[in-house]
Amino acid sequence: MPDMLKNKETEVELGDVADVVVGQILTRVVSKNNEGETVSVMMPKSIVAGTVIKEDLGEVILAKAVDPDKYTRAGDVVIKLSTPYDAAYVMEAEAGLLLPSFCAAIRIMEGSEIDAKYLSAFINSSYVKEQLTTKVVGSARPMIKVTDIRTLKIPKVSARDMKDIGEAYILSGEKKAILYEMIETENKLMENIVLESIKEVEGNG
Protein backbone atom coordinates (compact mmCIF):
# COMPACT_ATOMS: atom_id res chain seq x y z
CA MET A 1 0.00 0.00 0.00
CA PRO A 2 1.43 3.44 -0.87
CA ASP A 3 2.75 5.37 2.14
CA MET A 4 0.51 8.32 1.24
CA LEU A 5 -2.56 6.16 1.87
CA LYS A 6 -1.37 5.33 5.40
CA ASN A 7 -0.80 8.89 6.53
CA LYS A 8 -4.02 10.40 7.92
CA GLU A 9 -2.72 13.92 7.25
CA THR A 10 -2.69 13.22 3.53
CA GLU A 11 -6.28 11.92 3.43
CA VAL A 12 -9.73 13.44 3.38
CA GLU A 13 -12.97 11.57 4.14
CA LEU A 14 -15.31 11.48 1.17
CA GLY A 15 -18.31 12.51 3.30
CA ASP A 16 -16.55 15.77 4.14
CA VAL A 17 -16.21 16.83 0.49
CA ALA A 18 -19.17 15.20 -1.28
CA ASP A 19 -22.85 14.35 -0.91
CA VAL A 20 -23.93 10.77 -1.58
CA VAL A 21 -27.44 10.23 -2.98
CA VAL A 22 -28.92 6.75 -3.32
CA GLY A 23 -31.13 6.06 -6.32
CA GLN A 24 -34.90 5.60 -6.50
CA ILE A 25 -36.65 2.32 -5.64
CA LEU A 26 -38.31 1.85 -9.01
CA THR A 27 -41.17 -0.40 -7.86
CA ARG A 28 -42.57 2.57 -5.93
CA VAL A 29 -42.85 4.85 -8.95
CA VAL A 30 -43.16 2.67 -12.06
CA SER A 31 -46.54 2.72 -13.81
CA LYS A 32 -48.55 -0.49 -13.68
CA ASN A 33 -50.69 0.40 -16.70
CA ASN A 34 -47.96 1.80 -18.96
CA GLU A 35 -49.33 5.31 -18.64
CA GLY A 36 -47.10 8.19 -17.61
CA GLU A 37 -43.72 9.74 -18.39
CA THR A 38 -41.05 7.57 -20.03
CA VAL A 39 -37.53 8.14 -18.70
CA SER A 40 -34.10 6.58 -19.30
CA VAL A 41 -32.55 4.71 -16.40
CA MET A 42 -28.89 4.31 -15.44
CA MET A 43 -28.76 0.53 -15.04
CA PRO A 44 -25.83 -1.02 -13.11
CA LYS A 45 -24.71 -2.94 -16.21
CA SER A 46 -24.35 0.35 -18.11
CA ILE A 47 -21.48 1.39 -15.82
CA VAL A 48 -18.33 -0.12 -17.31
CA ALA A 49 -14.66 0.87 -16.99
CA GLY A 50 -15.42 4.34 -15.68
CA THR A 51 -17.85 5.23 -18.48
CA VAL A 52 -21.56 4.92 -19.24
CA ILE A 53 -22.49 2.44 -21.98
CA LYS A 54 -25.52 4.06 -23.61
CA GLU A 55 -26.64 0.81 -25.26
CA ASP A 56 -27.18 -0.73 -21.83
CA LEU A 57 -29.34 2.05 -20.38
CA GLY A 58 -32.84 1.04 -19.34
CA GLU A 59 -36.23 2.70 -19.73
CA VAL A 60 -39.28 2.89 -17.46
CA ILE A 61 -42.66 4.61 -17.43
CA LEU A 62 -43.26 6.63 -14.28
CA ALA A 63 -46.63 6.82 -12.58
CA LYS A 64 -45.50 9.66 -10.31
CA ALA A 65 -42.82 12.34 -10.15
CA VAL A 66 -39.40 11.47 -8.73
CA ASP A 67 -37.18 13.69 -6.58
CA PRO A 68 -34.86 15.64 -8.96
CA ASP A 69 -31.89 14.53 -6.82
CA LYS A 70 -32.47 10.99 -8.08
CA TYR A 71 -31.47 11.98 -11.64
CA THR A 72 -27.86 12.16 -12.78
CA ARG A 73 -26.11 15.52 -13.15
CA ALA A 74 -23.04 16.37 -15.18
CA GLY A 75 -20.03 15.95 -12.90
CA ASP A 76 -21.60 13.19 -10.78
CA VAL A 77 -19.66 10.04 -10.04
CA VAL A 78 -22.16 7.17 -10.10
CA ILE A 79 -21.23 3.97 -8.28
CA LYS A 80 -22.81 0.51 -8.28
CA LEU A 81 -23.79 -0.55 -4.77
CA SER A 82 -23.25 -4.22 -5.60
CA THR A 83 -20.08 -6.00 -6.66
CA PRO A 84 -17.85 -5.17 -8.51
CA TYR A 85 -18.63 -1.59 -7.28
CA ASP A 86 -17.72 0.06 -10.60
CA ALA A 87 -18.05 3.84 -10.87
CA ALA A 88 -18.50 6.18 -13.83
CA TYR A 89 -18.09 9.91 -14.35
CA VAL A 90 -21.26 11.51 -15.76
CA MET A 91 -20.74 13.70 -18.82
CA GLU A 92 -23.17 16.40 -20.03
CA ALA A 93 -24.74 13.96 -22.50
CA GLU A 94 -25.51 11.52 -19.66
CA ALA A 95 -27.23 14.01 -17.35
CA GLY A 96 -30.92 13.46 -16.60
CA LEU A 97 -30.84 9.67 -16.24
CA LEU A 98 -32.91 8.19 -13.42
CA LEU A 99 -30.79 6.42 -10.81
CA PRO A 100 -32.17 3.10 -9.53
CA SER A 101 -31.67 2.02 -5.90
CA PHE A 102 -28.77 -0.23 -6.94
CA CYS A 103 -26.68 2.88 -7.66
CA ALA A 104 -25.66 6.06 -5.86
CA ALA A 105 -24.49 9.46 -7.09
CA ILE A 106 -21.48 11.10 -5.46
CA ARG A 107 -21.65 14.89 -5.85
CA ILE A 108 -18.63 17.00 -4.99
CA MET A 109 -19.55 19.89 -2.69
CA GLU A 110 -19.10 23.43 -3.97
CA GLY A 111 -15.72 24.78 -2.98
CA SER A 112 -14.13 21.34 -2.60
CA GLU A 113 -10.70 20.81 -4.15
CA ILE A 114 -11.45 17.20 -5.10
CA ASP A 115 -11.65 16.59 -8.85
CA ALA A 116 -14.65 14.42 -9.79
CA LYS A 117 -12.87 12.71 -12.68
CA TYR A 118 -9.98 11.83 -10.39
CA LEU A 119 -12.50 10.54 -7.84
CA SER A 120 -13.94 8.24 -10.50
CA ALA A 121 -10.47 6.84 -11.19
CA PHE A 122 -9.76 6.45 -7.48
CA ILE A 123 -13.02 4.60 -6.74
CA ASN A 124 -12.39 2.21 -9.63
CA SER A 125 -8.95 1.32 -8.27
CA SER A 126 -8.32 -2.12 -6.75
CA TYR A 127 -7.36 -0.33 -3.52
CA VAL A 128 -10.89 1.06 -3.02
CA LYS A 129 -12.70 -2.04 -4.31
CA GLU A 130 -10.84 -4.17 -1.78
CA GLN A 131 -11.92 -1.77 0.99
CA LEU A 132 -15.56 -1.94 -0.10
CA THR A 133 -15.48 -5.72 -0.43
CA THR A 134 -14.27 -6.14 3.16
CA LYS A 135 -17.26 -4.11 4.39
CA VAL A 136 -19.77 -6.68 3.10
CA VAL A 137 -17.91 -9.93 3.85
CA GLY A 138 -20.34 -12.39 5.41
CA SER A 139 -23.37 -10.25 4.58
CA ALA A 140 -26.46 -11.96 3.17
CA ARG A 141 -26.87 -8.98 0.83
CA PRO A 142 -23.43 -7.90 -0.44
CA MET A 143 -24.47 -4.32 -1.14
CA ILE A 144 -22.43 -1.43 0.24
CA LYS A 145 -24.16 1.28 2.27
CA VAL A 146 -24.00 5.06 1.95
CA THR A 147 -21.94 5.14 5.13
CA ASP A 148 -19.38 2.82 3.50
CA ILE A 149 -18.97 5.33 0.68
CA ARG A 150 -18.90 8.39 2.90
CA THR A 151 -16.12 6.97 5.07
CA LEU A 152 -13.78 6.26 2.16
CA LYS A 153 -10.44 8.01 2.62
CA ILE A 154 -9.24 9.95 -0.45
CA PRO A 155 -5.52 10.76 -0.75
CA LYS A 156 -4.76 14.47 -1.00
CA VAL A 157 -2.75 14.78 -4.20
CA SER A 158 -1.98 18.07 -5.91
CA ALA A 159 -4.69 19.77 -7.97
CA ARG A 160 -2.51 19.38 -11.08
CA ASP A 161 -2.04 15.66 -10.49
CA MET A 162 -5.76 15.17 -9.84
CA LYS A 163 -6.65 16.94 -13.07
CA ASP A 164 -4.06 15.03 -15.14
CA ILE A 165 -4.99 11.64 -13.67
CA GLY A 166 -8.70 12.34 -14.02
CA GLU A 167 -8.47 13.43 -17.65
CA ALA A 168 -6.24 10.46 -18.53
CA TYR A 169 -8.68 8.07 -16.86
CA ILE A 170 -11.69 9.45 -18.73
CA LEU A 171 -9.81 9.21 -22.04
CA SER A 172 -8.87 5.62 -21.24
CA GLY A 173 -12.50 4.85 -20.42
CA GLU A 174 -13.67 6.29 -23.74
CA LYS A 175 -11.21 4.03 -25.56
CA LYS A 176 -12.47 1.02 -23.59
CA ALA A 177 -16.08 1.94 -24.42
CA ILE A 178 -15.24 1.93 -28.13
CA LEU A 179 -13.56 -1.48 -27.78
CA TYR A 180 -16.55 -2.76 -25.80
CA GLU A 181 -18.90 -1.65 -28.58
CA MET A 182 -16.70 -3.35 -31.19
CA ILE A 183 -16.72 -6.59 -29.19
CA GLU A 184 -20.50 -6.49 -28.80
CA THR A 185 -20.94 -5.85 -32.53
CA GLU A 186 -18.62 -8.75 -33.36
CA ASN A 187 -20.51 -11.05 -30.98
CA LYS A 188 -23.84 -10.15 -32.60
CA LEU A 189 -22.36 -10.69 -36.06
CA MET A 190 -21.12 -14.19 -35.18
CA GLU A 191 -24.41 -15.00 -33.45
CA ASN A 192 -26.32 -14.08 -36.61
CA ILE A 193 -23.99 -16.19 -38.75
CA VAL A 194 -24.53 -19.22 -36.51
CA LEU A 195 -28.32 -18.74 -36.42
CA GLU A 196 -28.47 -18.37 -40.21
CA SER A 197 -26.52 -21.61 -40.64
CA ILE A 198 -28.97 -23.41 -38.32
CA LYS A 199 -31.96 -22.06 -40.27
CA GLU A 200 -30.39 -23.19 -43.51
CA VAL A 201 -29.89 -26.73 -42.21
CA GLU A 202 -33.40 -26.90 -40.83
CA GLY A 203 -34.78 -25.57 -44.09
CA ASN A 204 -33.06 -28.32 -46.07
CA GLY A 205 -34.04 -31.00 -43.55
So what's the pLDDT on residue 135?
82
Tell me the pLDDT tens digit for each residue of 17-45.
999 999 999 999 999 888 889 999 999 88
With a cut of 90, say whether residue 143 has pLDDT above it: no
CA angle 74, 71, 65 (to 5 degrees): 150
Q: What is the DSSP string of 62-115?
A: ESS---GGGB--TT-EEEESBTT--EEEPPGGGTTPBPBTTEEEEEEPTT----
Among 36, 35, 57, 39, residue whose Cα is nearest residue 47? 57
| pLDDT surpasses 80 at 86 | yes
So what's the pLDDT on residue 3? 45
d(CA 128, CA 89): 16
Mean pLDDT of the chain: 88
The residue-averaged pLDDT of 77-106 equals 93
Asked if residue 53 has pLDDT above 90, the reply is no
pLDDT digit string, tens, across residues 3-18: 444 444 688 899 999 9
Burial of 87 (0-12, 13-18, 19+ CB in 10 A): buried
